[in-house]
Amino acid sequence: EMLKKTFQGIVPSILPVNNINDAVILASAVAQENDVVLFSPANGSQEDIEKRGLEFRRAVNNL
């Protein structure tokens, strides 16, 4: 909810999901030609960020 308030009026929409795979599927469904889908983890250890990056790449490759 705090993110929605912070970015209201700055980004067109914020669509909550439960995991990276769901995020990639949703992004694929709503993205239009020439859109950029960016994975940018906000916090966590370097190890966690690397793990989530791998999950993101796997999800994209599974589309």
Q: Which pLDDT value is given to residue 59?
A: 96
Q: Which pLDDT value is given to residue 50?
A: 87
Report residue 60: phi and psi, to 5°.
Answer: -65, -45
Convert the pLDDT of each residue in 3-47 to its tens digit: 788 888 898 878 888 899 999 999 999 999 999 888 877 667 777
d(C-alpha 55, C-alpha 16), whole Å: 17
pTM above 0.85, yes or no: no
